[in-house]
Structure 1
Amino acid sequence: MIDDNNDTNSKDFCLKMEYLKRLKSFGNRTLSLVIAPTLACNFACPYCYEANLPLTIMREEVEDKIIDFINSFSKRCDSLEICWEGGEPLLGIKRIKSLLNKIKEKSLLPLTYHSIITNGYLFSKEIAYYFSNENLNFVQITIDGQEKTHNKSRILKNGGDSYGQIISNIDMITQIIPKCLVVIRTNIHEGNKSEFGTIYKEFSKRWEQNNVRLFPAFVMPNTNCKVSCCTPQNKTDFFLNLKRKDGIDNINFVPTHCVGSCSATSENSYVIAPDGSLYKCWNDIGIVERSVGNVSVGITNNTLIAKYMVGSDKYSDTECAKCSLFPICDGGCNRHRMDNAIHSTKYPLCPFTKDGVADYLYEHYKLCKDE
Structure 2
Amino acid sequence: MSDQYRDQKQSPNGERPTPDPLLIAEAAAAFNDRSLQLFVLPTEKCNFRCTYCYEKFDVGRMKPSTVQAVKAFIDRRIEHLDALSVEWFGGEPLLGRPVIFDICEHIQASLANFPTVMYGGSMTTNGYLLDEGTATRLIGLGVRSFQISLDGPPDIHDQSRIRADGSATFSAIWDNLETMHNSDLDFEVRLRLHFTPGTAPNLFSLIDLINSDFGEDSRFKVAFKAVSRLGGENDHKIELFSRPAELETMAAFQRHLRNEGQLITHNRYDPQICYAAKPNSFVIRADGRIAKCTVALYDDRNTVGHISEDGRILIDNRKLQTWMRGFKSLSLAELGCPLHSLPRTDDVQPP
Question: Normalising by structure 2, what TM-score?
Answer: 0.79
Letter in 2 for 1:82: V
Deviation at 1:199, TM superposition (A): 1.8
Q: 2:227 aligns with which of 201, 208, 219?
A: 219
Give the equivalent residue in structure 2 for 1:236: 247
Deviations for 1:290-329, whole angstroms, at most 9, x for unmatched residues?
Answer: 1111121523222332222233999437xx7xxxxxxxxx
Give the equivalent residue in structure 1 for 2:103: 99
The 10-residue stretch of structure 1 (267-276 or 9-18) with the greater mean CA deviation from structure 2? 9-18
Letter in 1 for 2:39: V
Give the equivalent residue in structure 1 for 2:39: 34
Q: How does 1:1-371 map to 2 (within 5 A)?
A: 14-17=18-21, 19-27=24-32, 29-50=34-55, 52-74=56-78, 76-106=80-110, 110=117, 112-176=119-183, 178-210=185-217, 211-224=219-232, 225=235, 226-242=237-253, 246=256, 248=258, 260-285=272-297, 287-296=299-308, 297-311=312-326, 315-316=330-331, 333-338=337-342
* 1:66–1:295 contact (8 Å) kept in structure 2: yes
Q: Taking structure 1 as reference, are residues 150 and 258 closer, same or farther at Cα in structure 2, changes over 3 Å only?
A: closer
* 1:32–1:269 contact (8 Å) kept in structure 2: yes
Deviations for 1:56-88, whole angstroms, at most 9, x for unmatched residues?
Answer: 110111011112222333465223221111101
Give the equivalent residue in structure 2 for 1:325: none
The 10-residue stretch of structure 1 (152-161 or 200-209) with the greater mean CA deviation from structure 2? 200-209
User: Residue 210 of structure 2: SS of its match in structure 1?
Assistant: helix
* 1:139–1:182 contact (8 Å) kept in structure 2: yes
Identity %: 23
Q: Taking structure 1 as reference, are residues 104 and 332 closer, same or farther at Cα in structure 2, changes over 3 Å only?
A: closer
Measured in 2, the distance between the counterparts of 1:291 and 1:276 equals 10
Deviations for 1:210-259, whole angstroms, at most 9, x for unmatched residues?
Answer: 21001112223222134223332332222243356x47478699xx9955
Q: Taking structure 1 as reference, are residues 16 and 135 closer, same or farther at Cα in structure 2, changes over 3 Å only?
A: closer
Total equivalences in the alignment: 318
Measured in 2, the distance between the counterparts of 1:150 and 1:197 equals 13
* 1:44–1:156 contact (8 Å) kept in structure 2: yes
Deviation at 1:98, TM superposition (A): 1.5
* 1:312–1:337 contact (8 Å) kept in structure 2: no
User: Residue 319 of structure 2: SS of its match in structure 1?
Assistant: helix
Q: Taking structure 1 as reference, are residues 159 and 98 closer, same or farther at Cα in structure 2, changes over 3 Å only?
A: same
User: Residue 182 of structure 2: SS of its match in structure 1?
Assistant: helix
Question: Normalising by structure 1, what TM-score?
Answer: 0.75
Q: Taking structure 1 as reference, are residues 71 and 262 closer, same or farther at Cα in structure 2, changes over 3 Å only?
A: farther
Measured in 1, the distance between the counterparts of 2:328 and 2:195 equals 24
* 2:327–2:335 contact (8 Å) kept in structure 1: no
Q: Taking structure 1 as reference, are residues 243 and 77 closer, same or farther at Cα in structure 2, changes over 3 Å only?
A: closer
Letter in 1 for 2:225: A
User: Residue 206 of structure 1: SS of its match in structure 2?
Assistant: helix
Measured in 2, the distance between the counterparts of 1:228 and 1:332 equals 24
* 1:38–1:86 contact (8 Å) kept in structure 2: yes
Deviation at 1:10, TM superposition (A): 11
Measured in 1, the distance between the counterparts of 2:52 and 2:212 equals 29
Q: Taking structure 1 as reference, are residues 176 and 278 closer, same or farther at Cα in structure 2, changes over 3 Å only?
A: farther
Long gaps (5+) in structure 1 = 1-8, 321-329, 344-371
Measured in 2, the distance between the counterparts of 1:111 and 1:60 equals 27
Measured in 2, the distance between the counterparts of 1:155 and 1:117 equals 17
Measured in 1, the distance between the counterparts of 2:329 and 2:200 equals 28
* 1:39–1:55 contact (8 Å) kept in structure 2: yes
Long gaps (5+) in structure 2 = 1-12, 346-351
User: Residue 176 of structure 1: SS of its match in structure 2?
Assistant: coil
CA RMSD of aligned residues (A): 3.3
User: Residue 285 of structure 1: SS of its match in structure 2?
Assistant: coil
